[in-house]
């Protein structure tokens, strides 16, 4: 969802066509023994640690849960081909953000960008000279002029910095899995609905205290090569169907590479996990259950990181009496 939101937001400031290809390295092979032991422990404690396609059943209702990647990638062709019959058999498709929601958000922000702007100060006033110089350089590399970036909310800058320069000029969700699943559903007249109001994702960031937002922003200020490697690692974990490992790797690598202290980076990551995953997972469960009570077969597609863990969608559904079965992806 973050990447799809970023795609919507970037269209307001990034005008150039896609012109670069990312070629980062999978950082899982670079873990030292301490990091490897920590990763293994984190994943071992997560139920439903593997799998991007699950079926939940209760009574006569069937709920297919597909963990998605919100970015375009040619490796999506094969799983989408395999999943097409499942998509076409659904009575309802649930997404984090429908195409209609995305269009409405684009229109809203193009006419009223105040949601993204600081109301009372600028980033150069919030940062020291060295930090602002580094920040300006990083944003310029992503096609965002410093005079424009100076007014942005720190949380928004942190999202911009999460995408490496090689991908920042690309329409990130064009051809992404969520969009392509919705296209298949639409082609056979299956209705789509959102799991949440789009305001939810904004609030998860914007409601954070400003000092936390600044730490979020600074923690994302890493070397462009490292940014590409983090990107590549995330994608590799997705296609390996190891969402728990992918999230755990993000935690470990955020602490490894963050320019702020490892303790501060860990605290920020924990806050974002609560706001972006756990709280939203719990809010989605009543929506999913209600859908299964009104439709025989429901398909829900959302970011794969929402699937695993004690507070993941799968464990929460199991606690509600659903039986879970992993299916081919």
> For residue range 48-63, what is the model confidence (pLDDT) as tens digits?
999 999 999 999 999 9
In this predicted structure, the answer to whether residue 22 has a pLDDT above a threshold of 80 is no
pLDDT grade, residue 315 (50/70/90)? very high
Least confident of 68-82, 92-106, 170-184, 221-235: 170-184
Between 204 and 86, the higher pLDDT residue: 86
Least confident of 77-86, 184-193, 215-224: 215-224
pLDDT of residue 269: 84
pLDDT grade, residue 169 (50/70/90)? low
* Residue whose token pair is 């396609």: 53
In this predicted structure, the answer to whether residue 1 has a pLDDT above a threshold of 70 is no
pLDDT of residue 166: 81
**Mean pLDDT, range 163-178, rounded to an integer:** 71
In this predicted structure, the answer to whether residue 37 has a pLDDT above a threshold of 90 is yes
pLDDT grade, residue 5 (50/70/90)? low
What is the Cα gyration radius of the chain?
20
pLDDT grade, residue 329 (50/70/90)? very high
pLDDT grade, residue 165 (50/70/90)? confident
Report the 10 Å Cβ neighbour count for 281. Answer: 22
184 DSSP 8-state letter = H
The two structure tokens encoding residue 28: 């899982």
> For the chain, what is the mean pLDDT?
88
pLDDT grade, residue 21 (50/70/90)? low
pLDDT exceeding 90 applies to what percent of the chain?
Answer: 61
Alpha-carbon separation of residue 305 from 106, 278, 309 (angstroms): 25, 10, 9
In this predicted structure, the answer to whether residue 202 has a pLDDT above a threshold of 50 is yes
Residues 301-313 have pLDDT tens digits of 999 999 999 999 9
pLDDT of residue 35: 95
pLDDT grade, residue 18 (50/70/90)? very low
Q: In which order are the strands placed within the sheet that holds 53-58?
A: 192-194, 92-95, 297-303, 61-68, 53-58, 323-326
pLDDT grade, residue 76 (50/70/90)? very high
In this predicted structure, the answer to whether residue 144 has a pLDDT above a threshold of 70 is yes
Write down the domain spans for the chain. 36-41+61-112+153-322
Between 165 and 47, the higher pLDDT residue: 47
Report the 10 Å Cβ neighbour count for 119. Answer: 7
Return the H-helix or E-strand segment holding 92: strand 92-95
pLDDT of residue 103: 85
State the Cα–Cα distance between residues 117 and 152, nearest whole angstrom. 4
Residues 150-163 have pLDDT tens digits of 999 999 999 888 88
Q: What angle do CA 252, 195, 69 make, to 5 degrees?
A: 40
pLDDT of residue 203: 85
pLDDT grade, residue 172 (50/70/90)? low
Instruction: Give Cα 282 to chain centroid, integer Å.
Output: 17
């Amino acid at each position: 969802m973050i990447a799809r939101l970023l795609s919507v937001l970037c269209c307001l400031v990034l005008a150039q066509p896609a012109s670069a290809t990312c070629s980062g390295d999978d950082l899982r092979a670079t873990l030292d023994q301490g990091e490897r032991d920590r990763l293994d422990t984190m994943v071992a404690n997560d139920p439903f640690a593997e799998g991007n396609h699950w079926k939940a059943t209760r009574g006569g209702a069937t709920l297919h849960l597909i963990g998605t990647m919100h970015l375009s990638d040619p490796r999506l062709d094969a799983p989408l081909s395999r999943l097409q019959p499942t998509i076409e058999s659904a009575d309802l498709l649930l997404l984090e953000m429908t195409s209609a929601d995305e269009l409405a958000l684009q229109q809203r922000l193009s006419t009223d960008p105040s949601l993204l702007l600081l109301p009372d100060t600028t980033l150069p006033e919030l940062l020291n000279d060295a930090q602002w110089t580094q920040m300006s350089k990083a944003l310029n590399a992503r096609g965002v002029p410093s005079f424009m970036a100076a007014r942005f909310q720190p949380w928004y800058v942190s999202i911009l910095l999460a995408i490496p320069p090689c991908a920042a000029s690309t329409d990130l969700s064009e051809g992404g899995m969520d969009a392509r699943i919705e296209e298949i559903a639409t082609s056979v007249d299956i209705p789509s609905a959102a799991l949440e109001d789009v305001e939810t994702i904004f609030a998860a960031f914007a409601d954070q205290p400003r000092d936390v937002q600044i730490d979020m922003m600074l923690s994302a200020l890493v070397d462009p090569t490292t940014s590409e490697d983090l990107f590549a690692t995330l994608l590799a974990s997705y296609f390996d169907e190891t969402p728990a490992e992918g999230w755990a790797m993000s935690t470990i690598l955020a602490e490894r590479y963050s320019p702020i202290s490892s303790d501060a980076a860990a605290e920020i990551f924990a806050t974002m996990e609560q706001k972006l995953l756990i709280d939203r997972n719990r809010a989605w469960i009543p929506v999913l259950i209600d859908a299964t009570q009104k439709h025989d077969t429901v398909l829900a597609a959302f970011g794969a990181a929402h699937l695993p863990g004690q507070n993941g969608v799968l464990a929460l559904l199991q606690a509600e009496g659903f039986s879970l079965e992993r299916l081919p992806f």
